[in-house]
Every structure is written in structure tokens, then in C-alpha cells.
Amino acid sequence: MMPATPQWWRVDPLEPFQLGPRLIPGRIWTASGCFAYGLTGHEMTAPGFASPFAGLGAVVTKTVTPAARAGNPMPRLVETPCGALNSIGLENVGLDAFIRDVMPELEKRGVPFVASIAATCPEQFGEMARALQETGGGLRHWHGLELNLSCPNVAEGGHDFGKDPHTVAACVRAAREQVTDRALLAKLTPNVGDIAALAVAASGAGVDAVSAVNTFVGLEVDLATGEPILPRRFGGYSGPAILPLALAKVDEIVRKAGVPVVGVGGIATAEDALKFFALGAVAVQVGTAQMRDPFSAATIARRLHEIYLGNKRG
């Protein structure tokens, strides 16, 4: 069992850190799709917390596509003994509404955020990045752009879209040309044999960090019918069960690619987050745990801060 206060932890997760051209407010983020757009929950409180946003370095928004999407048919979420299988289908308000309604409200509320976007070709990523930059370039709390290259829930695009290093590089390059003063991240699929090759391609095209990993492709069967529970058969598997798998992918990237990594996958406790930091991650994202308890990321940030203070005094 990991010590409650590991002596090697000498980083304050609440302190800003440099990621590419941007000073990010902290190292504990929420993962895309797991805290909506960052506009809800501000009125919620818990013992010791004024809101679920306390101590967060960034909220990665729900992924936005060029046009609004209704998402996949119900059911969209299946809980399993060790995680969750989702097939949301990128339900979102679309780029125009995101720029018009969501970004100004996030700025007004002072929410540090990274905008997540998805498209079906490199040119679309460039067009979306340009639109965001033209309208949001003056926003103080917009810190970065995460390219969702790996969502397994959409037929066009989908997980096959992000498996090719050349395509990954083309998408990053298209966005980088349009956004130069925000941190640019590429969210990578774990459903490949060599994830480091994707990270190397993204790094060569100008990305500041990669987010690793997105969900694993999974399937659950309804024994009453003998059919898959999700209408699209497959979905994205997340939660505690993928923690060791995500750690292995992050370790591979850190050792082979030489690009900063934001770790994500199965994080539910401060100890889980520390494992990613031990492997060299510069920040982490809390996903499924945040959907179950909106104070998960805030709790992790506070606990790591306490460990840091204890080691500093020692």
C-alpha cells in the first residue's frame, strides 16, 4: 500500500505551472464530459468546500463539434462492477452556441477551462480552432484547447480516426496554426498497439501535451435478450478498472515520446493521482469519479496539497 504521505511528493498541485505558452492555474483537472461545460454545480457545498470547483486547475469542457449533436439513442450509460460503459455520442450544443453562450459565462464565473473539440478531418479542427481564437482570444480564463482525437462513440471520426499518427499530426498542425497563445493538447486513444507513436506525431506537429488516455472500447451484454445493452453495441469503458491500463500507457509515452502528459483514467483518490505523477505526468484529469461525486477532483486537490505542505515542513 502506498504511504499516506509519500516523501517524494514535492509539488503543490494548487500552484500554477507552465504548459506551452500558458500558465495553468493548477494540476488537478476534470476530464471532458464528466463535469459538463463547467457551468453547473457552483451553488453546491460540502464540508470544507465552498463549491466543487475549489482547487481545480482546469475544467475540460464537454466536447464540442462543429454542429450541435443530439447524441446516441438511449441507453447511453451502463454501470459495471468496476467502472462504467458510456455511449453518449458527443451530445453538445455545437460550436456557435459554445462560443456565444458558454465561453462568456465561464469567463464571467472565473472558471479556468480547456475547451475540448472534435471534428472529422484536420481542416475542421483548424476551422474550429480559428473560430475559438477569433472570439475567445481575449478571455483570461480560457487556458487551452484539447483535441478529442479518440472518442469511440461516433461513427464518423470515432476511435479509428485517431489511430493513424499522420492523421493525428495533421489535426494538431491545423489547430496549432490557428491557436498559438493557449496550451494545445491532443487526447489520445488507448486502443492501439503503440500509443507512443501517436504522442511522437502530436509532439512533432506542435502539441504542448497529450492527454492519456481516453476510454477503452468495451461492450456489455443483456442476458435477458442476449444482445448488447448499448444500441451502438460498443462504448467507452472508464472507471477504476482501467487505472493500471492507463498507467501503462502513460509510462510508455513518458519513456518513449518526450512530450508532457496529462494523465487520465480511473483516478478516484489522491493516491491514484500520485501514481500518474510518479510516472512523470504534469497534471491529471478526474473523470468517472467526478460524475459519481462532483467533489472528487476538489478532494484530490486538497489532499495532495496537504501532503505537499507536510513534506515541505518536514
Question: What is the spatial distance between Cα 196 and Cα 127, in angstroms, rounded to a whole number?
Answer: 27
Dmax over Cα atoms in the chain, in whole Å?
A: 60
Are 288 and 272 a contacting pair, CB within 8 Å? no
Q: What is the pLDDT of residues 268-303, one digit of tens each?
A: 999 999 999 999 999 999 999 999 999 999 999 999
Average pLDDT over every residue of 181-206 = 97
pLDDT band at 44 (very low <50, low <70, confident <90, very high): very high
Calculate what percentage of the chain has a pLDDT beyond 90: 92
Average pLDDT over every residue of 209-231 = 96
Calculate what percentage of the chain has a pLDDT beyond 70: 96
Amino acid at 69: R
pLDDT band at 313 (very low <50, low <70, confident <90, very high): confident
Question: What is the spatial distance between Cα 144 and Cα 122, in angstroms, rounded to a whole number?
Answer: 18
Task: Return the number of other C-beta atoms located less than 10 Å from residue 255's C-beta.
Answer: 11
Q: Which residues contact 171 (CB under 8 A, 6 or more apart)?
A: 119, 122, 125, 147, 149, 186, 205
Q: What is the pLDDT of residues 160-188, one digit of tens each?
A: 578 999 999 999 999 999 999 999 999 99
Which residues are tagged catalytic? 151
pLDDT of 157 > 80? The answer is no
The pTM (predicted TM-score) of the whole model is 0.95
pLDDT of 156 > 50? The answer is no
For 17-72+91-219+239-313, the fitting CATH number among 3.40.50.10610, 3.40.309.10, 3.20.20.70, 3.30.465.10 is: 3.20.20.70
Q: What is the pLDDT of residue 3?
A: 52
Average pLDDT over every residue of 23-28 = 98
pLDDT band at 314 (very low <50, low <70, confident <90, very high): confident
